[in-house]
Amino acid sequence: MIPFLDLHAVNTPYHDAIEEKIRSILSRGRYLLGEENEAFCTSFAEYCGTKHALGVGNGLEALELLLRGYGFGSGDEIIVPANTFIATILAISHAGCTPILIEPDITTYNIDSTKIEKAITPRTKAIMLVHLYGQAVEMENIWEIAQRHSLKILEDSAQAHGAYYQERRVGNLGDASAFSFYPGKNLGCFGDGGAITTNDTELYHKIQALANYGSYKKYHHLYKGYNSRLDEIQAGILSIKLQHLDKDNQYRREIAQYYRENITNPHITLPSCSNESSHVWHLFVIRTKERSQLQQYLADNGIETLIHYPVPPHKQPAYEEWNSLSLPITEKIHEEVLSLPISPVMQKKDIEYIVECLNRYKA
């Protein structure tokens, strides 16, 4: 079986360096808010091109902390793509804000910027973008809309570590950004982890306190804060893997290019890419009207695939107030998408075999 993602193989090249790093951390005896966290955050901010990076517990908490940091809450509306993973929308709900769902562009799967302005009301505070599947959102129109309406731009960059738009990395395209370091991400740790990047020094310091029980100074609490901190071991692991991220992303591009140039089955819609050199291909997502049949056919031929995501947020029981809402583009995407294996350790023969199987498939 060709696995969708072999995390053991992905991390094997780093085992010796990680073991040495963990021994070093154990010998120091400090496991939170120490030199590993500081070193990683400094490196990650430099990588993203921002003044600040803050390590936090996970991507969901990073998103919520952004909203809390800006003081958004009850009555405030946050524009968000309708076809994102539910975590983006959960963060808005957890902060007490109202998510305003916008349909995506069917070709890129990112938010359709031409539909944003019609959704803006006096209660709108921010546009929360998602660089879905690893492709940076087209920003020009969004920058203009945000400036015209005095809105914050918040990035959900959980799937796009290293992607960029017009020579700027994601994480540095808006006012602030949230990242996840879940193990399967392009930059993944060995558990949960996340980060926030920003050039807003005031926001950075406030979130720094919010993430640490609302405290700048131990036992003194300015805010009703959270416990959301990236531990030293995860920070150390991420520092090691960050050095190889661009190389890994480049191999993902090469796999994606091979898929896009060689998959010719007319029953399959291939992903669109506005800039081959900037997309980091966290996921390679095809569409087909025969998804169940194709997925079973690939499984029968020893190829594991996944569906990201089978049910859109507005059709989930958690958001039953939206269940009657009609978002046809989002629903079409969620009914048809199928993710093929893509990773920095895939072997050429497996990539070629996947293409061969897809081209043989008959509906």
Mean pLDDT of 265-288: 94
What is the reported pLDDT for 275?
79
Query: In CATH, what is the architecture of 245-360?
Result: Alpha-Beta Complex (3.90)
Residue 363 has pLDDT above 90, yes or no: no
Residue 121 buriedness (CB in 10 A; 0-12 / 13-18 / 19+): exposed
18, two tokens: 């990680």
What is the reported pLDDT for 343?
98
Per-residue model confidence as pLDDT tens digits over 65-120: 999 999 999 999 999 999 999 999 999 999 999 999 999 999 999 999 999 999 99
Domain boundaries, the chain: 7-102+109-242, 245-360
Q: Note whether 196 and 56 are within 8 A (CB).
A: yes
73, two tokens: 């809450």
Q: Does the fold of domain 245-360 match that of domain 7-102+109-242? A: no
Q: Which of 156, 195, 188, 155 is nearest to 44 (CA)?
A: 195
Report the phi/psi class of residue 320: left, alpha or beta, with left for phi > 0 and alpha for psi in -120 to 50: alpha
How many whole angstroms separate alpha carbon 20 and alpha carbon 269?
A: 45
Per-residue model confidence as pLDDT tens digits over 136-195: 999 999 999 999 999 999 999 999 999 999 999 999 999 999 999 999 999 999 999 999
The model scores a pTM over 0.95 = yes
Contacts of 165 (CB under 8 A, 6+ apart): 136, 137, 138, 139, 173, 275, 278
Per-residue model confidence as pLDDT tens digits over 103-118: 999 999 999 999 999 9
Per-residue model confidence as pLDDT tens digits over 196-253: 999 999 999 999 999 999 999 899 999 999 999 999 999 999 999 999 999 999 999 9
Q: Note whether 155 and 177 are within 8 A (CB).
A: yes
- Domain 7-102+109-242 fold: Aspartate Aminotransferase; domain 2 (3.40.640)
